[in-house]
Amino acid sequence: MSGSRLYFGTVSHRRLRPRPHTLQYRLFWMLLDLDELASLAARSALFSHNRRNLLSFHDSDHGDGSGAPLRPQVERILADHRIAFDGGAIRLFCMPRVLGYGFNPISVYFCHHRDGDLAAIVYEVHNTFGERHSYVFDAQDGKQPGAHGCDKRFHVSPFMDMGMHYEFRTLLPAERFALAIRGADQDGTLIHASLAGTAAPFDSAGLMRGLLLYPLLTLKVMAAIHWHALRLWLKGIRIRHKPEPPQEPTTPVQAS
């Protein structure tokens, strides 16, 4: 049975301080088994792997950006973090390129043992400056993870300081998927961000549904980022200087 599917749902952000600010949008995502990319492209004329199409997935949009196959890249990350992994499925949750354009604020790799238990989660965060950084969680017991978190190491928004702590809560992809991220600073919770979706088959009907509902999906995401940045600036929230990216490409995440 294929481990790949589509998800239709919503993304929302809520900032609490110093001026309240909220956003919510409807989107769709893909959950891609990295071993199935060739067969997924062959399954539908609407979708391609590393080629232009109405919808596509390009390895260079993820990992180290080189365009090299992603599975070996993820396996190296797990080895670097000394995470036990026996070569099971690696599935990536992300948005596709639409009409050749793609941008994912966050992509999530779910790494499984051969028996299906979870080995690790890799949260790959992208900013609008073309940089990316991964937060790596060792699942250890292989079951539905509890809350896990780490200090912020990577600049994302010019309206937030680096001195923050992230807490992740993730419902593993099945018929439903959900991810919630709480960002806190020395004064307490600053932001809540979440996404949630309902599964649909990865087939031409599902892909066409995504195209019809969200024909400019990734352009919409990028436009929304800049529109809300303008609104935050108009609310008087101070712009922070962009720091240099961290020297290490990954940061370990610990159970809370």
DSSP string, 194-206: EEEEEEEESSHHH
Alpha carbon 104 to chain centroid distance? 6
Using DSSP's 3-state secondary structure scheme, residue 211 falls into helix
**pLDDT for the residue 143:** 83
Q: pLDDT tens digits for 103-118? A: 999 999 999 999 999 9
The pLDDT of residue 67 is above 60: yes
Integer Cα distance of 241 and 244 in angstroms: 10
Using DSSP's 3-state secondary structure scheme, residue 168 falls into strand
C-alpha neighbours within 13 Å on the C-beta side of residue 201: 6
Handedness of CA 40, 61, 196, 79 (dihedral sign): positive
Q: Are 146 and 84 in contact (CB under 8 A)?
A: no
pTM of the prediction? 0.97
Q: pLDDT tens digits for 166-179? A: 999 999 999 999 99
Alpha carbon 190 to chain centroid distance? 20
- Percent of the chain at pLDDT > 70 equals 100
Query: What is the DSSP code (8-state) at residue 8?
Result: E
What backbone phi and psi angles, to 5 degrees, belong to 85?
A: -150, 130
**pLDDT for the residue 1:** 55
Which residue segment(s) compose the domain that 30 sits in?
Answer: 5-255
Domain total of the chain: 1
